[in-house]
Homo-oligomer: A and B are copies of this chain.
Amino acid sequence: MPEVIRAEGRLDLVITPNQGRRINVSEHINATATITEQVHLTRRSMHYWRVTLDHPPVNIFGPEAIPQLNEVITALETDVEVKVVVFDSAVQGFFLTHYDFLAPIENTTRLPPGPTGLQPLPDMLVRLSRAPVVSIASIRGRATGVGSELALACDMRFASREKAILSHFEVGAGVVPGGGPMARLPRLMGRGRALEVLLGADDIHGDLAERYGYVNRSLPDSDLDTFVEALATRIASFDKRAISETKRFADVASLPPDFEIAPEWDVCFASIMRPAAQERIKKLLELGLHKPGDVENRLGHYVGRLG
């Protein structure tokens, strides 16, 4: 983690120390004041921010992270100085992985819709895509489910050739993905490859991700940070208005309409409640899902063994 530069921004997220970050979910629901910070905001400068996903051991994304990510997205939307933000991870092996299957489902479903009228997670993702800021996903480790959806909502994606794995495993678990990938993937890589990613539900490593257009480029792991840093620093030196106006025009040609994304979330949650998904998720949990180990590391392999 780089040193935190505290600019005179509106946001003041607490950067917690590394130890003791993981606490029991059942203890802290409704006790948001004590929830461990999983989404760190670091200001490299007024113009260039980093958002680091830090929920060890496997960077699962659950309902308690939603307000944290929302605070960051709101800051990106409203800060007048920020021009570029890089999303990365502090957890080895995981950029950001699937949604929390252990959190009570009401913790998610009771959250009110966001400003776009979408449910909170897709709401934040479409707002990130439209924010007047360049967003870059620097992907090292696994980006699956929500992790892939966050990466896809960013403006650009760069991946470690050796260490990045992108995927949508959900269909393999009986679940319809919910955070926009059916709307976003075909626009990025064409129908054929998008359907392979979604319906094959397998792990996509760095080089194939580049060939498919899932990421802008895959780079040797040792070059990834230098490349992303140079690009972000470069963009941070440009004029914010030229950036945001140019991006807004490209949005018209490239962003899916919200009404295409909206139903994905509802159908996703409906699918999770069905026996086909419940049985598969139960099997995955028995095999070791939600814990460090082979199932989380090779989720694509394991969903192929459930049916």
Contacts and interface: CB of A to CB of B under 8 A. Distances in A.
Interface residues of A, number: 72
Contacts of A211: 210, 217
B239 A277 contact: yes
A187 interface: yes
A245 interface: yes
Contact of A245 (B192, B252, B271, B306): B271
B190 A188 contact: yes
Contact of A237 (B250, B263, B307): B307
B171 A243 contact: yes
Interface in A212-258: 212-213, 215-217, 231, 234-239, 241-243, 245-247, 249-250, 252-256
A157 interface: yes
Interface in A153-210: 154-157, 170-172, 174-177, 182-196, 198-202, 210
Given A171-B246, A304-B237, A196 B216 contact: yes
A177 B246 contact: yes
Copies of the polypeptide in the assembly: 3
Contacts of A191: 155, 187-188, 250, 254-255
Nearest to A136: B196
A134 interface: yes
Interface of A: 134, 154-157, 170-172, 174-177, 182-196, 198-202, 210-213, 215-217, 231, 234-239, 241-243, 245-247, 249-250, 252-256, 260, 263-264, 267, 271, 274, 276-277, 280, 303-304, 306-307
A182 B249 contact: yes
A243 B199 contact: yes
Contacts of A254: 186-187, 190-191, 194-195
The 3 closest A-B pairs by CB, nearest first: A237-B307, A182-B249, A191-B254
